[in-house]
């Protein structure tokens, strides 16, 4: 084992000293800036790549504004001869149909959220979206409302208020 270590050390020492030649190498001489050469040196021009940035703009043509509601509320226009009744201030979700009065004149009884009752007939205004009672049938009342959609078109919508059946009725 000792012999192996000795051979290894001797080999390392011979390789370490064998790599050195003992000569001092001097670096290559650098040309001084004062020495002129016969060739004319042109300065290097940087390569420029001009990129035109194309800015994409958002166009609103043909699309709706996502921050506007789907339905625009129609504004209630009141003339001097016509005054807004208390029924026009309610939303149809606040009014429920309580009864139908069937006789010479068709009438219906509606009740607001506070429990106050109102008698309505065909042609009366009901609801905040310019609703007009169009038809009174034995079990429902049809109300036609005007509304403005998201594109600005005025459209009509029919809302039906129906009587709730009692538990024993079919």
Per the domain annotation, does 106 fall within a domain?
yes
For residue 81, being part of any structural domain is answered with no
156 DSSP β-pair partners: 146
Query: Can you tell me the distance from the alpha carbon of 46 to that of 49, in angstroms, rounded to the nearest whole number?
Result: 10
Number of domains in the chain: 1
What confidence tens digit (pLDDT) does each residue in 24-71 have?
556 666 555 555 556 777 888 777 666 666 777 777 677 777 777 766
Rounded-to-integer distance, Cα 126 and Cα 50, Å: 68
Does 119 map to a domain?
Answer: yes
The C-alpha atoms of residue 170 and residue 167 are separated, in whole angstroms, by 8
Structure confidence at residue 83 (pLDDT): 46
Of 130, 132, 133, nearest to 154 (Cα)? 130
Neighbouring-strand partners of residue 111 = 96, 117
How far is 108 from 100, CA to CA, in rounded Å? Answer: 4
pTM for this entry? 0.50
Q: Is residue 27 included in any domain, yes or no? A: no
SS3 of residue 57 by DSSP:
coil
Report the Cα 43 to chain-centroid distance in Å.
Answer: 56
Q: Answer yes or no: is 158 within a domain.
A: yes
Q: What is the pLDDT of residue 81?
A: 40
123: left (phi over 0), alpha (psi -120 to 50) or beta: left
Cα–Cα–Cα angle for 153, 129, 139, rounded to 5 degrees: 115
Could you report the per-residue pLDDT of 72-101, keeping only the tens digit for each?
554 545 443 454 567 888 888 888 999 999
Q: Average pLDDT for residues 1-13, to the nearest whole number?
A: 79
pLDDT (tens digit per residue) in 128-164: 778 899 999 989 999 998 887 777 788 888 999 998 8
The predicted structure's pLDDT at residue 72: 57
Residue 81 DSSP code: S
CATH of the domain at 151: 2.30.30.830
Residue 19 lies in a domain: no
pLDDT tens digits for 102-137? 888 899 999 988 889 999 999 999 887 788 999 999
Instruction: Check: CB of residue 136 under 8 Å from CB of residue 108.
Output: yes
Q: Residue 170: which pLDDT band, with cuts at 50, 70 and 90?
A: low
Q: Is residue 3 part of a domain?
A: no
pLDDT of residue 46: 74
Return d(Cα 60, Cα 66) in angstroms, integer. Answer: 10
- Asked if residue 128 belongs to a domain, the reply is yes
Residue 160 has a pLDDT of 92
CB contact at 8 A, 132 and 126 = yes
Structural domain including 147 reads 86-162
């Amino acid at each position: 084992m000792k012999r192996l270590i000795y051979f290894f050390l001797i080999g390392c020492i011979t390789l370490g000293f064998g790599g050195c030649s003992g000569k001092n190498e001097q670096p290559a001489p650098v040309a001084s800036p004062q020495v002129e050469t016969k060739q004319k040196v042109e300065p290097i021009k940087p390569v420029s790549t001009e990129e035109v940035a194309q800015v994409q703009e958002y166009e609103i043509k043909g699309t709706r504004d996502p921050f506007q509601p789907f339905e625009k509320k129609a504004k209630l226009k009141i003339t001097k001869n016509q005054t807004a009744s208390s029924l026009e201030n309610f939303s149809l979700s606040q009014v429920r149909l309580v009864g139908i009065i069937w006789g010479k004149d068709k009438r219906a009884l509606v009740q607001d959220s506070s429990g106050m009752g109102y008698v309505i007939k065909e042609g009366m205004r009901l609801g905040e979206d310019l609703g007009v009672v169009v038809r009174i049938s034995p079990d429902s009342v049809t109300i036609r409302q005007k509304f403005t959609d998201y594109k600005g078109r005025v459209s009509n919508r029919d809302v039906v208020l129906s009587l709730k059946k009692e538990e024993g009725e079919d």
